[in-house]
Structure 1
Amino acid sequence: TPTPTPTPGPDPTPTVRRRAPKEPLSRRRRITRLAVVTVSALLLASGGAYVWADTQLNREVDLGKSPDRPPPGKGTNYLIVGSDSREGLSEQARKNLRTGSAEGRRTDSMMVLHTGSNGTTMMSLPRDSWVTVPGFLRPDTGKTFAPSRNKLNAAYSMGGPDLLVSTIERNTGLRIDHYAEIGFSGFVDVVDAVGGVRMCVDRDIKDPKSGLDLRKGCHTLDGAKALAFVRQRKQEAKGDLGRTQNQQKFLAALADKAATPGVLANPFAAFPTVRAGLDTLIVDQDMGLRNLMSLFEAMKGVTSGNGKQLNVPVSNTNLRTSKGSAVQWNVTQARRLFDQLRNDQPVDIAPPRP
């Protein structure tokens, strides 16, 4: 009888289902490490740029050495000064910008920016304001000068930022917490760094001295045209007071352009703007880059409706003095305005009409 062929039974070796091969772990680790290194490098670069820019600030002004300062008020007061310093401008640039060739520094504009719980107030001080200049000592000559009556910009010419701060504090009763000054070159560079600033004018403006030629309407001003716009006053019906209104309007628009959330939160976006003005920017010894960003953000608040732009109240724009024509403040209204700022109260002084 033939031996039966055994029926094949189940394979004792279990079947193993193979999955698709995984991405090598080492490759995933390399990608992760690359991402970490990239992010770290970006953070280090941004931090390095911030630290570098902060160390480049010209902290020349020592607010603490001013004698007989007013007591600290509520909120923060910034003194913003535009000087006519030609430092950093070549002869050709001076010619192109029509800045003239005068050496040294003189004040071209002065504003006190107050920030506090009631928003921001940007107050312009006409450079021809008739004020009391405190007595001071000229460190370069050792000569002492008695208190005198003079124009506000004379304080800067005689004793630089220190005497200017003392004079403003003496005549307003406001304690200046921070000081920021920029010259022609830095102003032009900052405007160009943000890609120009859009301004609208309600009439044609043609000023042969500054070279400004604008038609009625809106324009994007580059650095050169912006400088001409904030300097010209012969075409303004209100003269220097009209010019200060233009300066306020432009600085608020510049801050609105420069202090966007994307710029303030992104060191890479903020750095070119800050770097552009560093060469001619002068600040107080306690001012840091973060304070400057806060200053720009506060100025931006003016354009967003969270603040006011105004001139110190004036009673006479053509006061005859021993120093020529000057601007006389309205003592009663000015004192009320200064008290409101010092106590961080809502400002009820009406802004000037355009």
Structure 2
Amino acid sequence: MHKLGKVLVAALAVAVFSGTAYGYSTVSSLDGITREDVIESPDPGERPADGSLDILLVGRDSRTDDNGNPLSPEMLRELRVGANGDDLTDTLIVLRIPNGQKAVKAFSIPRDSWVAEPGTKDKTKINGIFGHAKFASASAQREAGKTDKAEIDKVAITAARKATLKAVEDLTGVKIDHFAEVNLQSFYDISKAVGGVEVCLNRATKDRKSGADFPAGKQTIQGADALAFVRQREDLPRSDLDRVRRQQVFLAGLAKQVLSAGTLANPARVSELIDAVKRSVVLDGSWDLFDFVRQMQGVSGGGIAFDTIPVVNPDYRYNPKQPTATAVQVDPAQVRAFAASLIGAQPTTPQAPPAGPKVDVVNASGKDGLAARVSDVLAEKGFGKGEMTAEAGRRTSVVRFSDASGPATEIAKLLGGLETQKADSVAAGHVQVVLGQVYKGPGVSAGGGAAGVRTDQPITSDDTGCIN
């Protein structure tokens, strides 16, 4: 949803106006864009230490404008959303621009990714960190005696942006150099400013929650329809993972549209696009757009590839007391390795923990090779390899222990939130994992271990194809 705005930044990131005299005059008109001190200013001329210029694009599920003013009832109806929205980050994309190269790599972080919350020992969905930090900051300010609501909100939102950025850095191992944020209305405005984006669907789909109602095949969408397209989760086979794919396809199409001769040669359309950006996009205070355009000269729409971080389990049951509550399980080590591979660097990831107890794996699922794959996954986490056996079909999975529940609990979490059970039949110093027919955790398919679950090919502006 906020993708569009991101695209706007993507347009900048792609040097939409690529250094022409007209382009520089256009960029100069962005002087009035909203700025926020989210990132410490680097030394002038400093090259990114990790070998890549990294930009975090954030899309907020906010029913306010960039100044914090509530959207009008008329605009809320046009956007097909209610007045009460959570302060969530529904879109998180990192743009990686390797030093001295023209290829731009972008990767999405699913909004329900289960991650460590900065500054705490807790874990949560990454899209909720913004709201948690905002609430904590506002509460602390009130306790300190502050009463000016506008000032409290301003400080709290800055804290929320910083917390979100820190969570992304902790998960990916990427040092973020620049920050851009858009909200619901900015996506709406920008998509209309470029005259819409062409997308293609494999089948017709409809979802009352987002307002999505699309036929199969190619179609050009903008405004409220574009917003519904990138917000839809219901009636999609893979729910949030398909929504991420939708956002990537739309962004790729947007980049192509912005870079097309029809857009750049139309002063009225360019002016409308710039006005939409100034109304609704927030950038970090240290971002020198002129310098950025100079760096990005020569990058084309087809030079951007959109991908998604590896996923361990897209249906992770993280709370045994709420068995229907799900998140997207990710492994920071896998994610860091993936992010580093985009610029050819070695991942900066911690060493594996000391060897834990031996784990015996029983394959009761009927799926060939599952025990070996799960054993490999656990070995990567420092657990010793035990026996691998098979037994008659069993529906559910369980982690059994005899003498110490701690390692069993950790293993159960690593494998997607399995049940644990004390069993005297398990040898001392061992943990037994029994894999049932409905097991969906790490190792469920070939390549689902260190590489995570990655079933999609990267999307580029040159070839988006039809999607769900």
TM-score interval w.r.t. the shorter chain?
A: 0.7 to 0.9
**Distance change (3 Å), C-alpha of 1:75 and 1:262:** farther
- Is this contact kept in 2: 1:98–1:211, CA < 8 A? yes
Output the CA distance in 1 between the equivalents of 2:244 and 2:224.
18
Question: Does the 8 Å CA contact 1:174/1:342 hold for their aligned counterparts?
Answer: no
1:156-198 superposed Cα distances (whole Å, 9 cap, x missing partner):
1123110011111112110111111111111111111111111
Which residue does the alignment assign to 1:352?
456
Bigger mean CA offset, 261-270 vs 334-343: 261-270
Give the equivalent residue in structure 2 for 1:187.
Answer: 187
Give the equivalent residue in structure 2 for 1:313.
Answer: 310
Could you say which residue in structure 1 is the equivalent of 2:51? 74
- The aligned counterpart of 1:25 is none
Q: Is the 8 A contact 1:172 1:338 kept in 2?
A: yes
Which whole-Å CA distance do the structure 2 matches of 1:172 and 1:260 have between them? 33
User: Counterparts of 1:183 and 1:162 in 2: how far apart (Å)?
Assistant: 17
Q: Where does residue 36 of structure 2 map in the other structure?
A: 60
Give TM-score scaled by structure 2 length: 0.56
The yes-or-no answer on 1:337 pairing with 2:338 is yes
- Contact 2:55/2:178 (<8 A) preserved: yes
1:153 aligns with 2:140: no
* Ranges in structure 1 where 5+ consecutive residues have no aligned partner: 1-42, 136-145
Shift, 1:264, TM fit: 5.6
How far does residue 83 in structure 1 lie from its aligned partner after superposition?
1.1
Other-structure match for 1:278: 278
Tell me the equivalent position of 1:326.
327
> Structure 1 residues 76, 264: closer, same or farther in 2, change over 3 A?
farther
TM-superposed deviation, 1:103:
5.2
Q: Quote the offset at 1:87 in angstroms.
A: 2.1
- Deviation, 1:130, is 0.9
CA distance in 2, matches of 1:185, 1:333: 35
The amino acid across from 1:314 in the alignment is V
Higher relative contact order (CA 8 A, sep 6+): 1
User: 2:84 is aligned with what amino acid?
Assistant: A
RMSD (Å), alpha carbons: 3.4
| Secondary structure in 2 matching 1:63 | coil
- Aligned amino acid, residue 176 of structure 1: I
| Residues in 1 aligned to 2:52 and 2:167: alpha-carbon distance in whole angstroms | 20
Per the alignment, do residues 76 and 263 of structure 1 end up closer, same or farther by CA in structure 2, a change over 3 Å counting?
farther
Name the CA distance, whole Å, in 2 between partners of 1:285 and 1:105.
Answer: 22
Contact 1:83 1:183 in 2 (8 A): yes
Higher mean C-alpha displacement, 267-276 vs 228-237: 267-276
More helix by share: 1
TM-superposed CA distance for 1:316, in Å, is 0.6
The 2-side partners of 1:278 and 1:115 are apart by 24
Q: Distance in 2 between matches of 1:45 and 1:120?
A: 23
Determine what percentage of the aligned residue pairs are the same residue: 32
2:206 aligns with 206
1:309 match: secondary structure: strand
2:125, 2:36 → 1: CA distance?
24
Q: Is the 8 A contact 1:61 1:161 kept in 2?
A: no
Deviation at 1:72, TM superposition (A): 2.4
Q: Quick check: 1:192–1:222 contact (8 Å CA) kept in 2?
A: yes
Distance 1:128 1:294, change over 3 A: farther
Query: Alpha carbons of 1:104 and 1:293: their partners in 2 closer, same or farther (altered >3 Å)?
Result: farther
Match of 2:372 in 1: none
Q: What is the TM-score normalised by the length of structure 1? A: 0.72
Please tell me whether the aligned partners of residues 212 and 225 of structure 2 are also in contact (alpha carbons under 8 angstroms).
yes
Aligned residues: 292
- Structure 1 pair 342/296, CA: closer, same or farther in 2 (3 Å)? closer
Q: C-alpha separation between the residues in 1 aligned to 2:276 and 2:53?
A: 26
Checking the alignment, whether the CA contact within 8 Å between 1:191 and 1:197 is kept in structure 2 is yes
**Based on CA coordinates, which of the two structures has the bigger radius of gyration?**
1
Letter in 2 for 1:174: V
Report the CA distance between 1:98 and its aligned residue.
Answer: 1.5
Distance change in 2, residues 1:154/1:275 (3 Å): same
In the alignment, the residues of structure 1 paired with residue 26 and residue 212 of structure 2 have an alpha-carbon distance, to the nearest angstrom, of 36
Q: CA deviation at 1:271?
A: 2.8
Q: What is the rounded CA distance, in whole Å, between the counterparts of 2:345 and 2:291 in structure 1?
A: 19
What amino acid maps onto 1:62 in structure 2? V
